[in-house]
Structure 1
Amino acid sequence: MTTTAITGEPFITTTPPEISGPHSGFYLSGDDINRNHRRFGLYDKQLNALPNSDVISAQLMTTSQAQVDVPTDVKTISDPVLFAGLITEQFGHILLNSIGRLWALSNLPENTRIVFLPKRKSNRKLYPHIQPILDAFGIKNEFIISKGPFFFEEIYTSADLFGERFSGYGTKHFFEWIDQKFPTKGPVIKGRKIYVTRSNFGPKYGRFACEEHLEKLLQAQGYEVFAPEQHSITKQVQTFQSAEKLIFAESSSLHLYSLICRRFQQVAIINRREKLPDLISNQLYSRPGPRISIINSISDIYWPPIRSDHLSVSLLDFNTLHERLVAEALIDPKIAWASPSQEEQERSLRAGVLPDQKMLNADERSEFLAEIRRNRKKA
């Protein structure tokens, strides 16, 4: 059980802000090479791949085709279009994969449409987060979500300046663009303390047990409990930027906070996994910001009998958590602090599973996954 910190000068990538186009060309998806790798590209009329038309992420990688077969029923779009890269369903993944090329819109015609490549289906209903993100950025351009095929009479490509391509890091140009969208000049409200919770997601999501108990303890310390998903992105930004002290339950909100963090805030993250994912820690280190304390007060981790790894539930050692928060001057040691009972922790731990199901410890989960693999081989 440890506390680490993200401090020091940020790492900034040096990719230049290049825009290519306008081109006339094809937008084509080929076969899947495997579940995370697809043949895809934008090609000029001579079927040469256009620059900056690839996707690099853990979600999906693309490779242009050496031999391109153009379908006979290609739809033509005459409006100018910017290729904006990959789009996925989750809020945090959109921030990591779908905004790193949008800076180019400032240099393109006002009627430029945006085209996103989906990993799976093109149904817009599967991507509820993209419109609020565009709205928060003040981007009013229409967008397309499609694997194609298309013929674009006027297509632009631009360098991807931020996100999974760079393991969560970004460029100076990208952050200058972000600061135009979300200026960090507003005042911090002295004494304002925010706890960013995950409890409203419900018990079937990845979490730590007894978060509601923690909320009450922090409210007694003067913290406002803030559930980001209940508010607009603009409200989230305003709330994060105005707080003097911030405590986060580890969540995708950190992908947003890292874009708009301020040097002189006091910030802590309470782990719900043994290690903060590299994409989050790298992103938090990608620009000047506050010292961020990462607090691991986990005593044990369990999983529901489901394959997805990210649905783990952690038991916190509340005494250790108290010590760490006091050491970081985020709470007052004179205000009462009590751990939940063993019965309360057990009840919270099991809240997301059926009565006949068992939460699995690390060894039991390894055997559970091994059994899935064995059954798959038999099928």
Structure 2
Amino acid sequence: MAIQFDYTVPDISGGVGDRIALVEGAIVVPPAKGLGNQSVQRSGVLTPDGRLVEEGITWRGQTPVTIAPAMPPGELADLKGTWMFLGPLFGHFGHFLVESICRIWAFGPLKDKIDGVIYVPKFQNRPDHVANVYRPFLQALGVTAPMVNLEDPTRVERLYVPAQGFGMFQMIEGAPEYRDFVRAHAGKGIEPKGAEKIYISRSALPAIRGSVLGEKRLEALLEAEGYEVFHPQKHPHDAQIAAYRAARQIVGVDCSPLHLLALVGDKEQKTGIVARRDGDLDQYFARQIRAFQGAEAWPMNFLIRNWIEADATRPSRTSWGEVDFTALHGALLKAGLIANPEPWPRLTEAEIAEEVARIGAGAQTTFKPYEGPKGKAPSDAD
């Protein structure tokens, strides 16, 4: 039976520097194998007598992603030495850049005291592969210690468990200690290299991943303004960081790479964030960029309609946004991100129908306009 625990949503605005638990003989419990990717997992850190270590809970907005596990039965694996707990390791790029690095702020004060850092899988799907994918990102963000991803319950000789210092929604601006660590370390070992103006594109992703209708037209319009179309997934992590460090003007639809931009960018940049779905994620990305780097960032929500899968009930990471290109042009012009005063025309009904048919064929489904209320957050941050 799982341990009972009274969950209280953390407030990180005043700082988290004093919230590092040190547990001797900590029991690190990954999610059980064979469960698949559940939205909430019974996983975390227990004391030797089975009490949940509160600092090890990972939150997404008002909801804990990890809740108290039961004390694992039988023999445990043993890990000697002193380690730091980082929480669940997500395979999803956007969630990695928010929830899997939410404790890296503590590496600064602890780096000379620990032998490495510990993750548990978000769910038990190729944990070694996921660790190998994200290990270079973690290093580039300033966490230079060895990293392990524990797939079995393990007794750790000595474990530091920092509280979450960053996260989705109300935690998107990060704790002061988190912002300080990021500004001092994230991407600093990688030289800027790339165009001064970039558009972060989703047009080369599978149709089921979602974007805005007419994205190819948007790319052409921005290319006419001197922008280079950048497809992050086609580049290794160091090239992505180099590109974001080099760019002075950035436009992108709301998507995961903007989290990385917020981590490695600087205060001289200007960013326009085009909403591709309801949920105000464009505003959250803008808040993060402003808070982390002090840079100018503009949320630009000019959605006319959301197009969602035929069996869906609301916009999500798979939906497509129908954007008012004329209004978007005006906002980009006002922000100084483009110069040509000639307004951009809206997509015609025929062009919209053609786009909807194209993405439906690509995603092997059909899409319908969403008629429900605006404002509900999508289920994922991608």
Same fold (TM over 0.5): yes
Describe the SS at the equivalent of 1:201: coil
Partners of 2:339 and 2:115 in 1: CA distance: 53
Describe the SS at the equivalent of 1:331: coil
Name 1:325's counterpart in structure 2.
332
Name 2:368's counterpart in structure 1.
360
Is the CA contact (8 Å cut-off) linking 2:183 and 2:292 kept in structure 1?
A: no
Name 1:81's counterpart in structure 2.
83
> Given residue 291 of structure 2, which amino acid in structure 1 is its aligned partner?
S
> Given residue 359 of structure 1, which amino acid in structure 2 is its aligned partner?
F
CA deviations over 1:222-246 (Å, ceiling 9, x no partner): 1111112222333323322322222
Inter-CA distance 135–350: structure 2 relative to 1 (3 Å threshold): farther
Alignment of 1:275-290 (within 5 A): 275-277=279-281, 279-290=284-295
Name 1:98's counterpart in structure 2.
100
Equivalent in 57, 61, 65 of residue 60 of structure 2: 57
Name 1:294's counterpart in structure 2.
299
Describe the SS at the equivalent of 1:302: strand
Partners of 1:350 and 1:89 in 2: CA distance: 31
Is the CA contact (8 Å cut-off) linking 1:13 and 1:170 kept in structure 2?
A: no
Describe the SS at the equivalent of 1:78: strand
Inter-CA distance 46–340: structure 2 relative to 1 (3 Å threshold): closer
Is the CA contact (8 Å cut-off) linking 1:76 and 1:151 kept in structure 2?
A: yes
Name 2:162's counterpart in structure 1.
158
Name 2:29's counterpart in structure 1.
28
Is the CA contact (8 Å cut-off) linking 1:206 and 1:312 kept in structure 2?
A: yes
Partners of 1:267 and 1:117 in 2: CA distance: 34
1:83 CA displacement: 1.2
1:215 CA displacement: 0.8
Is the CA contact (8 Å cut-off) linking 1:123 and 1:145 kept in structure 2?
A: no
Could you state the TM-score of these two structures normalised by the residue count of structure 2? 0.78
Partners of 1:36 and 1:203 in 2: CA distance: 24
Describe the SS at the equivalent of 1:286: helix
Name 1:117's counterpart in structure 2.
120
Describe the SS at the equivalent of 1:216: helix
Instruction: List 4+ stretches of structure 1 deviating above 6 A.
Output: 183-189
> Given residue 45 of structure 2, which amino acid in structure 1 is its aligned partner?
L
Partners of 1:158 and 1:282 in 2: CA distance: 24
Could you state the TM-score of these two structures normalised by the residue count of structure 1? 0.78
Is the CA contact (8 Å cut-off) linking 2:58 and 2:65 kept in structure 1?
A: yes
CA deviations over 1:159-193 (Å, ceiling 9, x no partner): 3222239532312222222122236799999x922
Work out which structure has the larger RCO, using CA pairs closer than 8 Å and 6 or more positions apart in sequence. Answer: 1
Describe the SS at the equivalent of 2:165: coil
1:208 CA displacement: 0.5
Describe the SS at the equivalent of 2:222: helix
* CA RMSD after TM alignment: 3.6
Count of paired positions: 352
Inter-CA distance 142–306: structure 2 relative to 1 (3 Å threshold): farther
Flag the structure with larger Rg: 1
Partners of 1:186 and 1:294 in 2: CA distance: 28
1:302 CA displacement: 1.0
Identity level (%):
21
Is the CA contact (8 Å cut-off) linking 2:31 and 2:123 kept in structure 1?
A: no
1:53 CA displacement: 2.3
Describe the SS at the equivalent of 2:291: coil
Structure 1 unaligned regions, length at least 5: 1-10, 366-379
